Amino acid sequence: MLTKKQLITKGILAVAPHMFSVIPFGIVCGAIGIELGFSPILVYAISIIIFGGASQIVFLQLLSGGASAFIAVTSVGVINSRHLLYGAVLSEYLEKLSFIKKLLISYIVVDQGFAESKKFFQKNKTEPYLHYHLIGTGGTLWICWQLSTLSGIILGSFVPEELGLKFAVPLTFIAIVVQDLKKLDHVIVMITCGLSSLLFFDAPFKSYIIISPIIALFVAALVLRLKK
Amino acid sequence: MTWSSIIIAGIVTYFMRMTMVALVDRDLLGERVKAVLAYVPSAVFPAIIFPGIFINDYGTFIEINDPKIFGAIVAILVGYFSRNVIATILSGLFSYWIIIFLL
């Protein structure tokens, strides 16, 4: 059995490599907010209140482009609706927590933390304090995200656009799913999702980001049925 | 106006994170649904990966010789064989930079 401290440490170590993507992207997020003409306090508050990478950029870009508050808020909701899927997966491992702890831990669940903790949970189902791993991954992501967006706000236009730092985002997710390329069923699901996202990219409110996973999960259900 | 939108967007995002963990009873999901949910990473992350590579900042498709495609291929190969997250991210970034700055 692992202690709480060991689990937190394992979580931190599991998600730490992704900081090579999270930190550059956080700097870009902060810098874009300033570039679009928003006040530093407002740009930083978004990192705490929304705490959701790409959705923060979309939110500010929409508002600065003259979109209504309704469109901006709806887009954030649609982009972040994928967390419903993460929650559905994690709930199995968090069901023994008290209601208050569930409310608290939910705030720090983001993509990379979900992915790394899910991998760990699957292999260590019997550990009693599993959620400490999620605190390790989510807490690390939260702290690094706050510090890097803050740096981006301070550095502002000093961040060279030519570097194309946003490209670090697809790379961190490639690192997460690349080992599943060994399994044909996963490859089919990934290609379905990827092609759907390109096909529906122009759908309103950035909804491609939830439409394509839903299509891919239907395909996954079909694949499961065929496997039997 | 902007502040109230931020707060509403924050609350909406928090509900997306919290609903399935705290409000929905796990037993409502049948075994088949749970089996399908095991595919969530493979079913979600390509929706971030593909547009991040193939669509540029202006919302249009990139050319077939775009350095991002090269960077992504390098990252996939390095990631597949090294099983190392840092190597995957950095090999992708550096191969992308080599093309845009040196060639």
ipTM score assigned to the predicted complex: 0.95
Query: Which pLDDT value is given to residue A157?
Result: 76
Residues A86 and A130 in one domain: yes
**Quick check: B5 and A75 in contact, CB under 8 A?**
no
Residues A97 and A136 in one domain: yes
Query: Which pLDDT value is given to residue A52?
Result: 94
Residues A126 and A196 in one domain: no
Query: Which pLDDT value is given to residue B77?
Result: 98
Residues A71 and A37 in one domain: yes
Would A20 be classed as within a structural domain?
A: yes
A contacts of B17 (beta carbons < 8 Å)? 80, 83, 86-87, 106-107, 109
Residues A137 and A206 in one domain: no
Query: Which pLDDT value is given to residue B46?
Result: 98
Domain count, chain A: 2
A contacts of B64 (beta carbons < 8 Å)? none
Q: Is the pLDDT of residue B102 over 80?
A: yes
Residues A71 and A162 in one domain: yes
- Whole-structure pTM value: 0.95
Percentage with pLDDT > 90 across chain A: 94
CA distance A1 to chain B (A): 24
Q: Which of A167, A195, A215 is a domain's end point?
A: A167
Q: Which residue has the higher pLDDT, B103 or A41?
A: A41
Q: For the residues B83-87, what does the mean pLDDT come to?
A: 97
Query: Which pLDDT value is given to residue A115?
Result: 98
d(CA A216, CA A86): 15
Query: Which pLDDT value is given to residue A158?
Result: 83
Residues A160 and A197 in one domain: no
Nearest CA in chain B to A183: B42
Of the candidates A55, A203, A191, the one whose C-alpha atom is nearest the C-alpha of residue B43 is: A191
Query: Which pLDDT value is given to residue A91?
Result: 93
Look up residue B34 and give its amino acid: K
Look up residue A164 and give its amino acid: G
Query: Which pLDDT value is given to residue A198?
Result: 97
Query: Which pLDDT value is given to residue A8?
Result: 98
Query: Which pLDDT value is given to residue A78?
Result: 97
Q: Which residue has the higher pLDDT, B97 or A227?
A: B97
Query: Which pLDDT value is given to residue B1?
Result: 75
Provide the greatest CA pair distance for chain B.
Answer: 57
Residues A52 and A137 in one domain: yes
Q: Which one of B4, B13, B101 would you mutate to disrupt binding with A, by most A Cβ within 10 Å of its Cβ?
A: B13
Would A11 be classed as within a structural domain?
A: yes
Nearest CA in chain B to A180: B42
Residues A46 and A152 in one domain: yes
Query: Which pLDDT value is given to residue A1?
Result: 85
Would A173 be classed as within a structural domain?
A: no
Q: Which of B6, B54, B89 sits opposite A20 (nearest CB)?
A: B89
Query: Which pLDDT value is given to residue B27?
Result: 74
Q: Is the pLDDT of residue A149 over 80?
A: yes
Query: Which pLDDT value is given to residue B58?
Result: 87
Q: Is the pLDDT of residue B103 over 90?
A: no
Query: Which pLDDT value is given to residue B30?
Result: 84
- The answer to whether B17 faces chain A, any CB pair under 8 Å, is yes
pLDDT tens-digit readout, A111-129: 999 999 999 999 999 999 9
Residues A20 and A115 in one domain: yes
Domain that holds residue A196: 183-228
CA distance A68 to chain B (A): 10
Compute, in degrees rounded to 10, the torsion defined by CA atoms A120, A126, A129, A132.
Answer: 0
Q: Give residues with Cβ within 8 angstroms of A223, minimum separation 6.
A: A185, A188, A189
d(CA A91, CA A152): 34
Q: Which of A137, A167, A197 is a domain's end point?
A: A167
Query: Which pLDDT value is given to residue B28?
Result: 75
Cα–Cα distances in Å, from A121 out to A118, A125, A127, A166, B96? Answer: 5, 6, 9, 30, 34
Q: Is the pLDDT of residue B20 over 80?
A: yes
pLDDT tens-digit readout, B33-50: 999 999 999 999 999 999
Residues A153 and A227 in one domain: no
pLDDT tens-digit readout, A160-177: 888 999 999 999 999 999
**Which residues share a beta bridge with A213?**
none
Would A52 be classed as within a structural domain?
A: yes
Would A172 be classed as within a structural domain?
A: no
Of the candidates A88, A84, A89, the one whose C-alpha atom is nearest the C-alpha of residue A119 is: A89
Which helix (H) or strand (E) element contains residue B43? Answer: helix B40-44
Residues A202 and A159 in one domain: no
> Average pLDDT over chain A, rounded to whole?
96
Query: Which pLDDT value is given to residue A7?
Result: 97
**Could A42 and B2 be called an inter-chain contact, meaning their C-beta atoms sit closer than 8 Å?**
yes
